[in-house]
């Protein structure tokens, strides 16, 4: 017996159809991004896991932005007008917006966890002394 599975080429649904449009401001103007599909995010993650972070970032950007915007960012990197870390932060920001889980940059994170309610009153067992 032979089984088959047919795949038709069609636009897959984005990872979050309710995600708001994200604008990226570059020196030449403002560009809109489209929300990627789950497949595009999966391929991004696969490229990252294989150690191709730069390729993964640019492949994803080419999928969600106008080529003019991506070309401008590439040129900014080549001309030392933008740090690669800025591009990484952009990707983190975009993924946070697309998945409705915005992330804070590490500098914006709080240093310690806030407390809510009463602290535990459970006593810990005394440690044995070793002298």
| Domain boundaries along the sequence of the chain | 22-98
Summarize the chain as % helix, strand, coil (round to 5).
40, 10, 50
Q: Contact, 24 vs 35, CB < 8 A?
A: no
For the question of whether the overall pTM of this predicted structure is more than 0.85, the answer is no
pLDDT tens, position by position, 61-117: 999 999 999 999 999 999 999 999 999 999 999 988 887 765 554 444 444 444 444
Alpha carbon 104 to its chain centroid, in Å, reads: 12
- Inform me whether the pLDDT recorded for 17 exceeds 90: no
CA pair distance 45, 58, nearest whole angstrom = 13
Residues 6+ apart with CB under 8 A from 71: none
């Amino acid at each position: 017996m032979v089984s088959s599975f047919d795949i038709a080429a069609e636009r897959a649904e984005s990872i979050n159809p309710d995600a708001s449009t994200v604008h990226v401001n570059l020196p030449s103007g403002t560009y809109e991004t489209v929300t990627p599909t789950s497949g595009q995010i999966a391929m991004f993650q696969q490229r990252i896991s294989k150690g191709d972070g730069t390729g993964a970032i640019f492949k994803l950007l080419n999928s969600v932005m106008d080529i003019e915007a991506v070309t401008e960012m590439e040129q900014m990197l080549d001309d030392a007008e933008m740090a690669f870390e800025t591009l990484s932060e952009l990707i983190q920001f975009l993924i946070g917006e697309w998945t409705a889980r915005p992330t804070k940059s590490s500098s914006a994170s709080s240093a310690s966890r806030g407390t809510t309610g009463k602290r535990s009153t459970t006593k810990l067992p005394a440690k044995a002394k070793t002298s």
